[in-house]
Amino acid sequence: MKRKFVLFTLAIVLFLSGCNLPETATPTAAMDENAVITAAAATAFTKLTEIAGLTTATPSPTYTSTPEPPTVTPTPTVEVILVPMDAICIDNSRVRSWPGSGGEFLGGIFYGRGVKVLARNDNGNWLLIEFPEAPTGRGWILQGGVELKGEVAQLPIALERPDSQLVFVPPVTWTVVGTPLPLPTFVVVDSSRPATVTQMAIVRVCPTKSCQAIGYLQVGDKINMTGRFGENKWAQFEYPSGPGGRGWVSRDNIQPSEAAFGGLPYFDLLGNLVTPEPPTSTPDPNISPTPTRTATAVPAGPLVEIVDVTTVYSLMSSLSPVAGTLNPKDRVRITALSINRLWYEIEYPFDTDGRAYISASEKYVRLLPGQDYRYMRYTDALGTPLAPP
């Protein structure tokens, strides 16, 4: 029986091997029967394995698709169209090339003159106006020197770019629909930053007085602070009717808890989160500050109206350098009267020291009714203040 099995296996091997044999076989030497059986069995096993491999489905490899990074769509720049807002100068104002006392002096605008306001700085204390005398046709004046025919919060905001050019952004505005929602019930937890309102306060959309008002806080209200600005002069707090459920209140109107502002997020003047917080500038004690020239402070006095073209002098003498010219209907503020009553010292924004001199003759100057001239300051010929005679 065993011999029949061997012969049967050998027949299968020979049949399979014959499929690959050439048509003319080369005679081979006689081999040992056991060796032939062993080699044939090995060949048969290999062939069977190959056949089995052909009928066994090989699983397809699984490919994991790596998602492409999202295409960053640049945020479109909002084009701000500068629409002039009318204003009236309520004081003589200096015009500068930049919003600050370090800006180049470009000229001045007298009391009572109308101006066109284009924008404000982020702090709202300087206004950009149309000023044809400037190289750019624009200049900056202090906000306190004019009376706007509108809300300063509605003006576009002019920001400085790294190349010292201006870029304009829309004003920060928010509309409260209906009655403002009540303050949330205050619950003290470890992360709370409570504060108590000590006097009636205006709630604003960002941390300056030039920002839009969106509500009020009453004395005794409890708020939870969520952010801060600058040297903790303004506090952001939970306010359901504000943008993002937040509002801003001046530090002067609240009494914060002992934890106060430490660790609260830091925001800029437009209410945008700033990370990381900018370092506090500490002056170097080894560096002497650069001396700056401060304009001479002059007290406010009565107004006069110019009757005829009047020359403005740097000193109380027609032989002194001419500082400028005044035209009929111009109004200037007197700051002193010469002891001989021949010259008025006037507030003159065009001059570096902020003052100059004109003739006190009625030919050139008309005293306005309703102005108080009784306590006018007197000076000597050099402009040194004197006691009234």
- pLDDT value for 81: 87
Residue 294 lies in a domain: no
Both 315 and 361 in one domain: the answer is yes
| CATH number of domain containing 104 | 2.30.30.40
Q: Which residues of 257-276 are buried (b: 16+ CB within 10 A; e: fewer)?
A: eeeebeebebbebbbeeeee
Number of domains in the chain: 3
230/246 Cα distance (integer angstroms): 17
332/329 Cα distance (integer angstroms): 10
Residue 3 lies in a domain: no
**Bridge partners (DSSP) listed for residue 223:** 195
Residue 44 lies in a domain: no
Torsions phi, psi for 114 (to 5 deg): -85, 145
Which domain, by its residues, includes 307? 303-386
Q: Using CA of residue 185, residue 188, residue 190, residue 195, what is the dihedral sign?
A: positive
- pLDDT value for 277: 67
**Cβ atoms < 10 Å from Cβ of 28:** 6
Residue 287 lies in a domain: no
Helix, strand, or coil (residue 153): helix
Residue 260 lies in a domain: yes
Both 157 and 122 in one domain: the answer is yes
Q: SS3 letters for 346-360?
A: EECCCCCCCEEEEEC
* Cβ atoms of residues 97 and 129 within 8 Å: no
Residue 156 lies in a domain: yes
Residue 48 lies in a domain: no
99/295 Cα distance (integer angstroms): 17
- Which tokens is 279 given? 């370092």
| pTM for the model | 0.55
- pLDDT value for 197: 93
**Domain end residue (candidates: 267, 294, 322):** 267
312/327 Cα distance (integer angstroms): 11
pLDDT at 34 over 70: no
- How far does Cα 302 stand from its chain's mean position? 40
Both 200 and 165 in one domain: the answer is no
User: Nearest Cα to 96, choosing from 121, 70, 71, 74?
Assistant: 121
pLDDT at 25 over 70: no
* Cβ atoms of residues 185 and 170 within 8 Å: no
Q: 301-358 pLDDT, tens per residue?
A: 788 899 999 999 888 888 888 888 888 988 888 888 888 888 898 888 766 567 889 9
- How far does Cα 5 stand from its chain's mean position? 95
Say how many Å lie between the first and final Cα of the chain, rounded.
Answer: 154
Query: Which helix or strand (DSSP H or E) is residue 13 part of?
Result: helix 2-18
197/222 Cα distance (integer angstroms): 7
* Cβ atoms of residues 300 and 333 within 8 Å: yes
Rounded mean pLDDT, 206-211: 91
Residue 289 lies in a domain: no
pLDDT at 39 over 50: no
Both 145 and 208 in one domain: the answer is no
Q: 245-299 pLDDT, tens per residue?
A: 999 999 999 999 877 888 899 998 888 888 776 665 444 444 334 343 344 444 5
- pLDDT value for 91: 82
Both 150 and 221 in one domain: the answer is no
CB proximity list for 113: less than 8 A, separation 6 or greater: 88, 89
